A and B are shown apart, each in its own frame.
Chain A
Amino acid sequence: MTQRNLRQAALLGGVLSLCAIGASAETLRWASTTDPQTMDPHAVNSAPVLSFLNNIYEGLVRRGQDMSIEPSLATSWEPLEGENGWRFNLREGVTFQDGAAFTAEDVMFSYQRASDEAADVRSWFAPVSEVRVVDDFTIDFVTTAPNPLFPDSIANFMILDKDWAESNDAALPARDAENFATMNVNGTGPFTVASRDPGVRTTLVPNDNWWDEVQHNVTETVFTPIGNSATGLAALLSGEIDFIQPIPLQDVEQVEGREGFKVLEGEETRVIMFGFGHEHDTLLYSSDVTDANPFTDPRVRLAAAHAIDIASIDRVLFRGKIEPASQLVPAGISGFSEANQDRPAFNQERARELLAEAGYPDGFSFGLKCTNDRYINDEALCRAAASMFAAVGLNAELSTGPVRDYWPQLREDDFDMYLLGWSPGTFDMEHPIRFLMHSQDDEKKLGSWNFGNYSNARVDELLPQIQQEINPAARQAMIDEVVAITQEEVAYIPLYTQPLIWAAKDNINLTQRADNFFMLRWVTVN
């Protein structure tokens, strides 16, 4: 090689390496409204925590961009032979971020940790009767009954390293004090925590030894919780952050109107609905009907459903961004009943007729409870609904309050009608049937969010069968039956699916998953 060629080569190499540095040094600064309360994946079963930690820890299975279940720390799984449950074949050659090897012992340990009384995620393992380590890379989860959806239901069950947790006194999640795992992490996932100042800033860096093919090009990411939405928007528009989730509906135009920013819109899986006090003998907040509860009559509930003008709510309150709902999960979720996708039409005439048939030709007054800080535009929605109810003679006495105060009131049956939003944690129709439609049963832990205690013997009978049915067609037939019954009886008034609105700079490519989780592994900064 001549002197000149050498110099050119050196120059070229220099330029190339410069490019490489330019392309690789990608810091992503992002914000969300809530700081993950803890770094312990078993301590709190809440979306901010699970969403954040899914970037650091991994489960046996994980959800893809379209929410489908795909292999993660397990490469495959199949039903056990001769008994109920699942066998998971684990991925070999995976290491935790501290270098320790991942084996079935870690899964076993994590199962024990996550199903302990101190863990908030233990309900995921209610169907599990036994877990057996077969060999280093095979583990069996035995369930009390056939459980076709078990692998889907543990997508957020994250695996900790046994030795790491035990040697740091974090063998159990911290409930009312802190432990090592509250602030420190050691996962197998694509990112790890470089520094954390709770409530202020958390810095993540890629895990160079991650087993999967890297799709992102982020070299560092700084997360800041920004509780005030106006501040968050300003931070985005001033360029101090690259991405924020979520932004309020009313700020969409602000962001869209600016060069260099984009709004990402999707449907969340959360269905907003009204519920009734099905087993109340009398109304609590009525000024005219004090000796009965008209809502025990399905005709009255149907009248209320006919009174709702969902198209106007969509247009006026949500700028056309909601999807009207016919049942407690949106279309596209497994188990969605296509046979029952009509919702009661907006028909004031019919509503008045129904009320007259039920013996309330002049309507009646009742109390409507709503949150004012839980769902998008929740208070405005309830005001709109109250005036729509009033138009047919249902005079809603609206009372709204913060969510921290709300659930205890509902648990104490302090309502005539109430607002509720439900996101199916397993992304299957069985979830809302279990929590919202099955009769309250503390012992079996069923119907725990069925505040009004809607109760139908057939629904109660079908739920365990749905949970255990392996044949998809037979399962769907039973779900269709439940949906048909609950629609017929107007157990709830499903209103709409809540939109998901994120905002980012134009140069950020990311995936907006329907569970509102922000996965760093799909982010590219251009």
Chain B
Amino acid sequence: MVYFILKRLVQSVFVMLAVAFLAFSLFRFVGDPITQMTGVETSVADQERLRDELGLNDPFILQFGRFTGDMLQGDFGFSYRTRQPVAEMIADRIPATLELGIVALLISLFVGIPAGVYTALRPRGIATQTILMTTLVGVSIPTFVIGIMLIFIFGVQLGWLPTFGRGGTVQIGGWESSLFTVEGWRALLLPAITLGVYQLTLTMRLVRAEMMEVMRTDYIRFAMARGVPMQKLHYKHALANTMVPVITIIGLQFGGVIAFSIVTESVFQWPGMGLLFLESIRFVDIPVMGVYLVVIAFFFVLVNLIVDLLYVAIDPRLRVRDVQ
């Protein structure tokens, strides 16, 4: 087990290196950082000098080597835009993105799984058809539009919830959290729903499909014939067996939720990593973009690892194989 985890972590280093390499080979097409860093009156000579100082004239391989070398030594560099240490900037933004992603995930699970079970058990009910229709709409509208719609309905028209930012946050040992204040939760609700809608639909449809499949299997029919109470049958025997594929997909999707919370964060001015990344693209802030992409790659690897570990926890057969 320990060997398995270690192997995965070593693999993650290679994934991050590959991502950094790809990212760096693309950065030259993003734009010119120097014209973003200097004012209009700065002379061409001064611009060139700065370009030299930052090593932007060096060959690509040299720049990439310097970036990875520094990173391996724990030096993440300084932002071209704000001149702050990149490690600090990203670390400051991680809590916002993680909390948003996790709450979005929880919303999608706590609504999506029961809805999936319900729609599987009553496939022809009016409620089922309504749920399926609305979630189809929800998944076909782009995140951006859902966010703006929610803002205008609940923020502007009804005035119930804030339209941007994190609301009240508290510092807990360097972790800036919005989970401990009412204001924080109010601010979290709309972005989390926006980010979770797609996940929710996916979860629900997946659970529904799996559940309908499982309900047709022999052991369920046998259990039914034996008179196992319906409640127990549905939630213990049937649902448990639908969870393996569901967890795979949800887990993989969660990496995406973190990585692609960019749109939601932009719409809600949510000060997470995604927003930082967006600002960095606008300013061609190469150090921040590079580190962000590497961190995201690490998240993906980590989430995959957790998914693999969850398999073992959920599926007894895997444990048996492990023992053999």
Binding site for B on A (CB under 8 A): 35, 37-38, 43-46, 117, 120-124, 174-178, 182-183, 197-201, 224-228, 230-231, 234-235, 237-240, 402, 404-405, 407-408, 411, 425, 435, 442, 445, 448-449
Given contacts A228-B269, A235-B164, contact A45 B283 (CB under 8 A): no
Q: Among A120, A224, A231, which residue has the most Cβ atoms of chain B within 10 A?
A: A231
Q: A176-B83, A178-B84, A407-B35 are in contact. Are A231 and B40 (CB under 8 A)?
A: no
B266 at the interface (CB under 8 A from A): yes
Closest to A404 in B: B31
Alpha-carbon distance A411/B40, docked complex (angstroms): 13
Stretch among B42-50, B128-136, B238-246 lining the A interface? B42-50
Known: A45-B38, A224-B164. 7 other contacts (CB 8 A): A175-B83, A201-B165, A227-B266, A230-B148, A238-B163, A408-B32, A448-B43
Cα–Cα, bound, A195→B282 (Å): 25
Neighbouring B residues of A405 by C-beta, 8 Å: 30-32
Are A404 and B35 in touch, CB under 8 angstroms?
yes
Whether the pair B83, A177 counts as a contact (CB closer than 8 A) is yes
Q: Are B155 and A238 in contact (CB under 8 A)?
A: yes
CB within 8 Å of A: which B131-151 residues: 148, 151
Q: A183 to chain B: which residues have CB within 8 Å? A: 84
Given A44-B37, A200-B271, A234:B84 Cβ within 8 A? no
The 8 Å CB contact of A238, one of B50, B159, B275, is: B159
The docked-state distance in angstroms from the alpha carbon of A410 to that of B152 is 40
Q: A178-B85, A199-B279 are in contact. Are A425 and B41 (CB under 8 A)?
A: yes
Which residues of chain A are within 8 angstroms of B37 by Cβ–Cβ distance? 44, 120
| A261 CB → nearest B CB, Å | 12
Docked-complex contact B275 and A199, CB < 8 angstroms: yes
Contact B30 A404 (CB under 8 A): yes
Q: Out of A120, A174, A182, A200, which one reaches B42, CB within 8 Å?
A: A120
Give B contacts to A, CB under 8 Å: 30-32, 35-46, 49-50, 53-54, 78, 80-85, 89, 92, 148, 151-152, 155-156, 159, 162-165, 266-269, 271, 275-276, 278-279, 281-284
B39 touches A46 (CB 8 A): yes
- How far is A178 from B278 in the complex, measured between Cα atoms in Å? 21
Q: With a CB–CB cut-off of 8 A, which chain B residues contact A425?
A: 40-41
Known A-B contacts A37-B82, A43-B83, A408-B32; the reply to A124 vs B41 at CB < 8 A is yes
Across the interface, do A234 and B151 meet the contact criterion of CB distance under 8 Å? yes
Contact A238 B54, beta carbon cutoff 8 Å: no
Determine which of A35, A44, A176, A240 lies in contact with B164 in the assembled complex, contact meaning CB atoms within 8 Å.
A240
Q: Name 22 A/B residue pairs within 8 A (Cβ), A-sorted.
A: A35-B279, A44-B37, A45-B39, A45-B42, A117-B49, A121-B39, A197-B271, A199-B279, A200-B271, A227-B269, A227-B278, A228-B269, A230-B151, A235-B269, A238-B159, A238-B162, A240-B164, A402-B282, A404-B30, A435-B41, A442-B44, A449-B40
Report A-chain residues with C-beta under 8 Å of the C-beta of B165.
Answer: 200-201, 224
**Cβ-closest chain A residue relative to B45:** A442
Q: How far is the CB of A171 from the nearest CB of chain B, in Å?
A: 16
Distance of A293 from chain B, by nearest CB (Å): 24
A404 to B45, CA, bound (A): 19
Q: For the complex, give the distance between the alpha carbons of A327 and B281 in Å.
A: 34
* A117 / chain B contacts, CB cutoff of 8 Å: 46, 49
Contact B50 A175 (CB under 8 A): yes
Contact between B43 and A445 (Cβ–Cβ < 8 Å)? yes
Return chain A residues, CB-CB under 8 Å to B278: 227
Cα-based distance from A200 to B49 in the complex (angstroms)? 32
Are the CB atoms of A174 and B283 closer together than 8 Å?
no
The interface residues of chain A lying within 8 Å CB-to-CB of B151 are 230-231, 234, 238
Contacts of B41 in A (CB 8 A): 45, 121, 123-124, 425, 435
A38 to B31 alpha-carbon distance, docked (Å): 21
Q: Within the assembled complex, what's the spacing in Å between the Cα atoms of A120 and B35?
A: 12
B284 / chain A contacts, CB cutoff of 8 Å: 404
Contact A237 B82 (CB under 8 A): no
Nearest-Cβ distance from residue A253 to partner chain B, whole angstroms: 15
Determine if A231 and B83 form an interchain contact, defined as CB atoms under 8 angstroms apart. no
- Name the residue in B40, B155, B156 with the highest tally of chain A Cβ atoms < 10 Å from its Cβ: B40
A117 to B50: give the CA distance in the assembly, Å. 9
Cβ 8 A contact of A182, one of B40, B84, B155, B283: B84
Query: Quick check: B78 and A237 within 8 Å, CB to CB?
Result: no
Q: Check if A445 sits within 8 Å of B45, measured CB to CB.
A: yes
Which of B30, B43, B81, B276 has the most chain A CB atoms closer than 10 A to its own CB? B43
Give the distance to chain B from A123, nearest Cβ to Cβ, in Å. Answer: 4
Docked pose: A435 CA to B37 CA in angstroms: 19
Assess the A408–B268 pair: CB atoms within 8 A. Answer: no
Q: What B residues does A435 contact at CB under 8 A?
A: 40-41
- Decide: B164 and A182 in contact? CB cutoff 8 A: no
Expressed in whole angstroms, the Cα–Cα distance for A231 and B147 within the complex equals: 9
Chain A residue at minimum C-beta to C-beta distance from B159: A238
Chain A residues with CB below 8 A from B82, complex form: 37-38, 178, 182, 198-199
Shortest Cβ gap from A498 to chain B (Å):
15
With a cutoff of 8 Å between Cβ atoms, the chain A residues found around residue B266 in the complex are 227-228, 231
Bound-state CA distance A234–B81 (Å) is: 27
Cross-chain contact of A178 among B78, B152, B276, B279 (Cβ < 8 A): B78
Return chain A residues, CB-CB under 8 Å to B31.
402, 404-405, 408
Nearest A residue to B89, CB-CB: A198
Complexed CA–CA distance, A94 and B39 (Å): 30
Question: What's the Cα separation between A44 and B35 when bound, in Å?
Answer: 11
